[in-house]
Structure 1
């Protein structure tokens, strides 16, 4: 089984790549700058893979470039084989006063978290539709369902990803393709430290003494958060989903040991019920 994962060089992507290799999968680890800034990461992954049952392939792929996406997928399909599972993991965050994030920053985050996912799905779906087989797991967040102050830009992107994925889920299920969501809570990875603050410093200064209020919720930049749980639960959940029978996989899976899925699980349940009620009323021929 060939599994393609984006953003494999760090955070949840790195942890998931290593866990999949340990379990014996063929893992196509994609990342930006694998031939420049990421050379050391590539060496580490290659050394790790030699101690596992799995087979590692590393490919250069930038989810913000349609050309890069299409070239990478074409290369995979011609040199490695069909893509059985796509894990859309690449993502970036941002915390701080939402007003202080200018348009360029919104575009940057949406380009990775939403448009990048769309590019990847458009790239792999023609082959999956032809085979009437395939699994796409989009890594969302509990912030695709519940709202934390001072994270509006990231939350907006994940809310968008939730809607995009659910539409695909209903549309492509009859074609034998499962498209589903994984909603992680907070975990101890490099993601937290890599989140950017707002670029508009002048607008931020207008908040005066309140300008550092986001740190009360999200912590100071670079602060170690030892209370966060190990991310190993994420690859375990992903492998469970991969091994499930086609058509039986849940649309949403929440993995949130820190907050126990408070709010997220309840909203998922209510929204599924509401969607079913609407679908039944309109007599849509879709499975909710």
Structure 2
């Protein structure tokens, strides 16, 4: 199982993961919205390292179908799919327009669904595959000013819970990766509110999100272990594990939040197994440790 497709390969998690996989002997293809512009240098570096690049917009079904098919063709197959493409958002929740919320969900939730619908016929036909997903620690809890982003990742987690069970009988294992905040270009492309009139109604509190974000940036700067390379290491470690014995959720965090999320995940794991056991379908969980 050495043929990997990574969506959002030029992003903060995608690039180091791709380079690590290539160094480990994997065949890697990845998607970018455009090869030119801000991605040009990264695309050139990835191609020089051996990656195959396809242009694909996960918010468009035709583009996604074409991009996944192109990646499978260039790889000569597909064993591992890493749903990594995503977008962030930040700001007081009331100020976020429904259109902005819809855009975040279109990338982080429906985008994953489009990719899965394009890739799964191939994986089901061969009777084996591994699907990884980039979620977030705040896909498990919600923190102020990240309401829209958290909601999209909570939705992703629910969808993947279902994919985990529904695909197990086809030999397709599922793994969620839950990073803490990392210093990546994610913060440069955040969807933020543009409702100045409502923002004014919040008075002094309207300045709090910016102060909070600055504090987070300082914390990340002071925590050198909290870097995107940790995601690459996690992906490699997961893929090195025997098929069917990988954990369903893996927390990646070095700022102290991770242990609490892991505790939460352990409880949910037990609750989920108990509920499915009571319904007589616990075997649908068997493709994860």
For the criterion TM > 0.5, the same-fold answer is yes
The aligned residue for residue 52 of structure 1 is: none
Q: Match of 1:219, SS?
A: helix
The structure that is helix-richer by fraction is 2
User: CA 1:223–1:266 in 2, change beyond 3 Å: closer, same or farther?
Assistant: closer
Q: Closer, same or farther in 2 for the Cα pair 1:78/1:287, shift >3 Å?
A: closer
Are positions 1:242 and 2:228 aligned together?
A: no
One of 63, 68, 77 as aligned partner of 1:73: 68
Unmatched segments (≥5 aa) in structure 2: none
Number of equivalenced pairs: 282
Contact 2:7 2:32 in 1 (8 A): yes
Answer yes or no: is 1:188 the counterpart of 2:183: yes
How far has the Cα of 1:39 moved from its partner?
2.4
Give ranges in structure 1 of 5+ residues lacking alignment.
50-54
Shift of 1:285: 4.6
Q: Of 70, 87, 90, which aligns to 2:85?
A: 90
SS in 2 for 1:248: coil
Separation in 1 of the partners of 2:142 and 2:57? 29
Deviation at 1:224, TM superposition (A): 9.3
SS at 1:129 equivalent: helix
Corresponding residue for 2:31? 30
Residue 273 of structure 2: which of 264, 273, 276 is its match? 276
Does the residue aligned with 2:51 lie in a helix, a strand or coil? strand
Match of 1:123 among 96, 104, 118: 118
TM-score of the aligned structures, taking structure 1 as reference length:
0.92
Q: Quick check: 1:94–1:154 contact (8 Å CA) kept in 2?
A: yes
CA RMSD, aligned part only? Answer: 1.9
| Cα distance, 1:219 vs structure 2 | 1.8
1:193 and 1:223 in contact (8 A); partners too: no
Asked if the contact 1:176/1:246 (under 8 Å) is kept, the reply is no
The residue that corresponds to 1:137 in the other structure is 132
- Per the TM alignment, residue 104 of structure 1 is displaced from its structure 2 partner at its CA by 0.5
Distance 1:268 1:164 in 2: 16
- 2:18 is the alignment partner of 1:17: yes
TM-superposed CA distance for 1:263, in Å, is 2.6
**Pairing 1:213-232 to 2, within 5 Å after superposition:** 213-219=208-214, 225-228=220-223, 229-232=226-229
